[in-house]
Chain A
Amino acid sequence: MKKIVSIKNLWVYFNNIPVLEDINLSIRQNDFLALIGPNGGGKTTLLKVILGLIRPDRGEVEVFGKNPEEGRKLIGYLPQYTHFDPNFPISVLEVVLMGRYRGLIRSYSREDVETALNALDTVGMLEFKDWQIGKLSGGQVQRVLVARAIAREPKLLLLDEPTASIDPEMQKSFYELLLNLKKRMAIVLVTHDIGVISTYVEKIACLNRRLFYHGPREAGLKKLEEVYKCPIELIAHGVPHRVLERHEKK
């Protein structure tokens, strides 16, 4: 399948300390990839390199055959934290419309509004379109921010710990939503949630400064312990071992 992101020999330093070392990674059309690894392992940094927000110190990054600043037009992005003032004067629809931004002066067209409304419909938040964003729950905000990301009609969706701030019941429906979106775009998901990995994603990439593994999840889960350098329950919130055991029994 077609490569949409190609990273070769990537090095990134912060204050002369390497945070990413010699990363080689390809993302293909229709991939559903979980990027896992300990905190400070460089997962967010890697996403930001793909988005052109952080420049690599060494190595090559191609996004849809172009440099990241150009190629990111086809990327939808959900940041790890979106801090905003709960009183910020903006409606749900106005937030999603930001995903349709196409340049200075150009105001949003009727088509942009249609696409934004469709995106809200996809995430099941259409009825909230006129609500002020601060009135929504954490899970609802995440859905709106996913709508903002997919309103760009991206070919690749980058999600940075999308379920960290939402409760377990909401998480399940959130992942069902991703399975639905996967038909239309490649998805890369940063997560600590082992349960998700074993149920939904197809490939995993384990990152702790270096890329320790990239491939199908079955073989990868066995290598997890090696990456984290500590017992697996640290990353499997609430479901220590169970998931891994289930895999071994298969």
Chain B
Amino acid sequence: MDILQYEFIRNALIAAILVSVTCGIIGTYVVIKRIVFIGGGISHAAFGGIGLGYLLGINPIIATIPFSILAALGIGTIGKKSEFGEDTAIGIVWAVGMALGVIFIALSPGYAPDLFSYLFGSILAVTSFDLIIMLILNVIIILTVILFHKEFLAISFDEEFSEVVGVPTKTMYLLLLCLVALSVVVLIRAVGVILVIALLTIPAAISRRFTHNIKNLMLLSIFIAIVLTITGLYLSYIFDLPSGATIVLILGIGFLLSSLFEYSIST
């Protein structure tokens, strides 16, 4: 494997593993709690953070952290008000976040050369600094899930009963959305804000065909994500295709194959 001699390839591989851990864990909650489009809303709104990063001259990934957390809290708070509903909240935050990003970039001096990579990802351009941020966010995500897995499972299964037995359901829901926000930040480097939703859903959607235990579901999702993202990464390198889009297509093909597999064993 002579391609491993390049530092950017090694970084990309490490990034693929960090990305897979994130989307395996948080993607599981996103899929079982059916908040895929909340994830989509947060990731698009996160574009505002990228624009803010350009405007202030700081690393766009850093600027995205508070921005995506605010987007998550916004969707969570507006969505729980009965007069609006979740889909309205998603629509508002999604578009306003992106619009802010466009305005911030327009106000920034000069032009934004690698803007496209934040929209559609460029895992081959991941720096060591990016890796450190991704690692720290992963540690935060894992520790939070270890501490609150009981609550997250309870509110995902039956929110009303959870409230009755004393789970602080609103706080836990917002905390879960904040974890989705942090995972969006981790995933942006790999596939960009627009394609993040694929990593949050497809590995978990494939895995849930094979297990009904949430811990195994997370572990299997991580494994499947590693295999598919590295396959996508490798193919994009060989055929000189955009890495983010190739990874997403491989994820899609993986889902299709798992469907065919399930269909063939059920008949």
Please name the residue on chain A nearest to B28 by beta carbon: A89
Please name the residue on chain A nearest to B148 by beta carbon: A104
CB B54 to nearest CB in A, in angstroms, measures 39
- A101 and B154: CB pair below 8 A? yes
Give the distance in Å from the alpha carbon of A233 to the alpha carbon of B68 in the complex.
56
- A101 and B212: CB pair below 8 A? no
- B212 and A148: CB pair below 8 A? no
Give the distance in Å from the alpha carbon of A72 to the alpha carbon of B217 in the complex.
34
Give the distance in Å from the alpha carbon of A74 to the alpha carbon of B147 in the complex.
26
By DSSP majority rule, is chain A's interface helix, strand, loop, or mixed?
Answer: loop
Judge whether A87 is part of the interface by a CB distance below 8 angstroms. yes
Interface residues on A, range: 20 to 34
- B217 and A104: CB pair below 8 A? no
Contact (A98, B154) CB under 8 Å given A72-B164, A77-B164: yes
- B212 and A91: CB pair below 8 A? yes
Give the distance in Å from the alpha carbon of A152 to the alpha carbon of B164 in the complex.
11
Judge whether B135 is part of the interface by a CB distance below 8 angstroms. no
Please, which residues of chain B bring their CB within 8 A of the CB of A75? Answer: 164
CB B37 to nearest CB in A, in angstroms, measures 16
CB B103 to nearest CB in A, in angstroms, measures 38
CB A199 to nearest CB in B, in angstroms, measures 29
Residue from the list A72, A77, A98, A105 in contact with B157, Cβ < 8 A: A98
Give the distance in Å from the alpha carbon of A105 to the alpha carbon of B163 in the complex.
16
Please, which residues of chain A bring their CB within 8 A of the CB of B28? Answer: 89
- A90 and B208: CB pair below 8 A? no
- B157 and A90: CB pair below 8 A? yes
Give the distance in Å from the alpha carbon of A9 to the alpha carbon of B87 in the complex.
38
Give the distance in Å from the alpha carbon of A157 to the alpha carbon of B221 in the complex.
39
Which B119-170 residues have C-beta < 8 A from chain A? 147-148, 150-151, 153-154, 156-158, 160-168
- B161 and A89: CB pair below 8 A? no
Give the distance in Å from the alpha carbon of A73 to the alpha carbon of B164 in the complex.
8
- B32 and A77: CB pair below 8 A? no
A-B contact pairs, 24 of them (CB 8 A): A51-B164, A72-B164, A77-B164, A79-B160, A82-B158, A84-B157, A85-B34, A88-B32, A89-B212, A89-B213, A89-B217, A90-B157, A90-B212, A91-B212, A91-B213, A98-B157, A101-B150, A101-B165, A102-B166, A104-B151, A104-B168, A108-B150, A148-B161, A152-B165
| A interface residues with partner B (beta carbon < 8 Å) | 51-53, 72-73, 75, 77, 79, 82, 84-85, 87-91, 94-95, 98-99, 101-105, 107-108, 132, 134, 148, 152
Q: Which 9 A-B pairs have the closest CB atoms?
A: A132-B212, A101-B165, A89-B214, A89-B212, A77-B164, A89-B217, A98-B154, A51-B164, A79-B160
| B interface residues with partner A (beta carbon < 8 Å) | 28, 32, 34, 147-148, 150-151, 153-154, 156-158, 160-168, 208, 211-214, 217
